[in-house]
Amino acid sequence: MNKTLVIGAAGQIGTELVEELRARRGVDQVIASDIQIKNLLTPCYELDATDPDKVRKIVQKEGISEVYNLVAMLSAKGEKEPQKAWDLNMKTLFIILDLAREGKIKKIFWPSSIAVFGPSSNSVGAPQYGSMEPTTSYGISKLAGELWCQYYFQNYGVDIRSIRYPGLISWRTMPGGGTTDYAIEIFHSARRGKEFISFLGPETRLPMMYMEDAVRAAIQLMEADSEMIKIRTSYNLAAVDFTPAELFEEIRKFYPGLKISYDPDLRQNIADSWPDSINDSHARQDWGWNHQFDLKMMVKDMVNNV
């Protein structure tokens, strides 16, 4: 009765998280689920995470004790359907929080994001505590969700753990509908020998992280002793920060012929509302977070695998 359920397992984080959890705990101990199971390996379920009865059934049938709930509509896609993004992001969170409140599951991981910050936040080294006025539906849902996580911890003792992820770079699965997606698309253009047209301007600096670090962080936080977790909203987490121009220069070391042009769209406004970099000293102090991939290592690994 100690299995792990990953909801949103076919997504950018889920794909690699499931693989790593299964390597550590055994394939049968980690149940993958998503709205479509096309790329998932068994044991897996097709699961509409907005349906409380369906989620509850799997939790009971499989004897789930911890849930990684990765379902979300990201920032750029969410601005096309703001109400839908809010509904999806909140509904899927509350279903899991309520199962934990009833004692059906013991521990929850739920990712938050740099999208909780806004124009009034410190742009350089945005602190854990400070002004947060997100301008996107995604960011509003993440900030509200963080506060609900803390509420369920304080009032019902729910063991919820969360990270404010920066933009995540990976090669196994494409992200869907984020503002930081350019930093993945550029590698695919480079491999195809195509000019890259960046939807963010050359000097748009954003906090970023390689997926291997992101997955390790989630598992490390979930395995940490409960007393070490001092923050029950969500921890700032940082690794690197760079601009499209800086990333381009680094990739050009491998693809000297790569060309770039800039054609900012609405996603530029979203990026401009987010900090350039994040201060994650609480995560480093409380549970020993340390990133491993810098820009050079990340680019090398991406080039080798994309």
Pick 58 or 90: Cβ nearer ligand SER: 90
Pick 178 or 251: Cβ nearer ligand SER: 178
Question: Quick one: CA dihedral 295, 19, 173, 188, positive or negative?
Answer: positive
Shortest distance (Å) from residue 251 CB to ligand SER: 19
Pick 113 or 198: Cβ nearer ligand SER: 113
In the chain the beta strands, taken as DSSP E runs, fall at 3-7, 30-34, 44-46, 64-69, 107-113, 159-165, 167-169, 196-198, 206-210, 235-236, 240-242, 260-262
**C-alpha span between 292 and 180 (Å, rounded):** 20
Pick 15 or 59: Cβ nearer ligand SER: 15
Residue ranges that bind ligand SER, judged by CB under 6 A: 74-75, 113-115, 138, 165, 167, 178-180
Query: Could you count the other beta carbons within 10 Å of the beta carbon of residue 268?
Result: 17
Q: Which sequence positions are flagged as catalytic?
A: 138
Half-sphere exposure of 154 (CA within 13 A, CB side): 10
Q: What are phi and psi of 145, to 5 degrees?
A: -60, -40
Pick 87 or 98: Cβ nearer ligand SER: 87
Q: Amino acid identity, residue 77?
A: K
Angle among Cα 286, 289, 293 to the nearest 5 degrees reads 165
Shortest distance (Å) from residue 179 CB to ligand SER: 4
C-alpha dist (Å) from residue 71 to 29, 96, 229: 20, 11, 23
Query: Could you count the other beta carbons within 10 Å of the beta carbon of residue 58?
Result: 16
Instruction: Give the three-state DSSP class for 32.
Output: strand
Which DSSP category does 306 fall into?
Answer: -
Contact call for residues 66 and 4 (beta carbons, < 8 A): yes
Shortest distance (Å) from residue 1 CB to ligand SER: 33
Instruction: Give the three-state DSSP class for 84.
Output: helix
Pick 40 or 74: Cβ nearer ligand SER: 74
Shortest distance (Å) from residue 267 CB to ligand SER: 8
Residue with structure tokens 């003792």? Answer: 157
> Prior bond to 111 cis, omega within 30?
no
Shortest distance (Å) from residue 100 CB to ligand SER: 23
The residue sitting closest to ligand SER, measured at its beta carbon, is 178
Shortest distance (Å) from residue 71 CB to ligand SER: 13
